[in-house]
Copies of this chain bind each other. A is one copy, B any other.
């Protein structure tokens, strides 16, 4: 299997996971079918589109290969039907959203950094673009459904993407690109899932508090 094909498969897989996370959010916000489709699209290709715009790689990636749009359409349809069979309560829906989201985050962050490096940008820019690719879609989803972007409030999310993409830029100096990509994705997914399951949070930024 060629390296480019591997990248494309991972990219489509990440698209599907984030489209699902968009539909799950739409159901929680009581949107209609088309709202769910819009949210799935924004979630799935929002981050990668923003990256492509910022680095000047236009037209954006999903206009060049119809597989992304069809993957989102199918994922949205299947998820809407599947939603009827997920039992209520016990936090299972929330856990499901967190898990598919973590996988999408890991895949897209590293793929975003890889593309940026391929285009000749410096490592720090690749890290920023990787983080944008990973988190911007979810931030747009949260804004469109009128939630405070959860990436910004104490959860280990952007930080997982930052640590993973920085690791990736170092690992690829000493190991083959494929190893660095897989390792980077694994680091992000692991950090994110561990923090979700253990309930680890990041301290808030605060002003000085007066002593009571």
Contacts and interface: CB of A to CB of B under 8 A. Distances in A.
Q: Please tell me how many copies of the chain the complex holds.
A: 3
Interface string A3-33: 0000000000000000000010011111111
B27 A207 contact: yes
Contacts of A208: 83-88
Nearest to A148: B146
A153 B121 contact: no
A159 interface: yes
B153 A30 contact: yes
B33 A205 contact: yes
A158 interface: yes
Nearest to A42: B139
A205 B35 contact: yes
Given A33-B202, A56-B58, A205-B31, A122 B88 contact: no
A203 B33 contact: yes
16 contacts: A29-B148, A29-B152, A30-B204, A31-B204, A32-B203, A34-B157, A35-B154, A37-B158, A38-B151, A41-B128, A54-B59, A55-B59, A66-B125, A85-B208, A86-B208, A93-B207
